[in-house]
A and B are shown apart, each in its own frame.
Chain A
Amino acid sequence: DIQMTQSPSSLSASVGDRVTITCRASQGISKSVAWYQQKPGKAPKLLLYVASTLKSGVPSRFSGSGSGTDYTLTISSLQPEDFATYYCQQSYNTPFTFGQGTKLEI
């Protein structure tokens, strides 16, 4: 199974900050990575897929990059509604696997 290791596990930031979350795969996954946002008591929401494609309707302050084994999610200017937990997920092969999550806190 491909392991997805996210860092950091938690992050404290302020409104307006630029933040970056990293996900490292245990093997190359050819940009087959998606990023999700989850707020307490809610289902996850898709933000980006194939590493850098923004889902329609997602604000442009979210961006993704990476290749090979290393991928990043960047929020250019944090908004109050962005405080949540973020997960990366590989779709390179089954079993599909998620990172352990990064909790973004004020």
Chain B
Amino acid sequence: EVQLVESGGGLVQPGWSLRLSCAASGFAFDDYAMHWVRQVPGKGLEWVSGIDWNSATTDYAPSVKGRFTISRDNAKNSLYLEMNSLRVEDTALYYCGKDIGESSDYLTLDYWGLGTLVTVSS
């Protein structure tokens, strides 16, 4: 059974940093691209970042480019999102998602975690 479990969310002040993790199990992690998608509670979905199977390619939404860094450790079946210079508008539930393919050039997420909540507030 595919499982994605996010962790690392919390309450931080504007300008602070946070590192999210996603532990994957139940599939060959190093065969698939992975992504982060966020959702303000009660609002729509926003793609944040993606990484291909071997970390050769990463992509970011313009709203986070230069502040967030996506990475993965295939030996640990884990995905990460390093978030720096956090803003109030980064407040959201952050989901980790598994793509159906190895390339991050497309976004089709067939499995999602339950999400981890990031709140940025002074």
Residues from 47 to 88 in B contacting A, C-beta threshold 8 Å: 47, 50, 59-62
Residues of A within 8 A of B47 (CB): 89, 95-98
Once A and B bind, how many residue pairs between them come within 8 Å at the CB atom?
51
Q: Which of A44, A55, A95 contacts B45 (CB 8 A)?
A: A44
Interface of A is mostly: loop
B62–A95 CB distance below 8 A: yes
| A89 and B113 contact, Cβ closer than 8 Å, known pairs A94-B59, A98-B47 | no
B103 to chain A, nearest CB (A): 10
A43–B46 CB distance below 8 A: no
B interface residues with partner A (beta carbon < 8 Å): 44-47, 50, 59-62, 95, 100, 106-110, 112-115
| A87 and B106 contact, Cβ closer than 8 Å, known pairs A95-B61, A95-B62 | no
A43–B59 CB distance below 8 A: no
> Chain A: which residue is nearest B100 at the CB level?
A49
Q: Which of A43, A87, A95 contacts B95 (CB 8 A)?
A: A43
Chain A residue total in the interface (Cβ 8 A): 21
| A32 interfacial contact with B, CB 8 Å | yes
A87–B110 CB distance below 8 A: no
Residues of B within 8 A of A46 (CB): 108-110
Q: Which of A32, A55, A98 contacts B46 (CB 8 A)?
A: A98
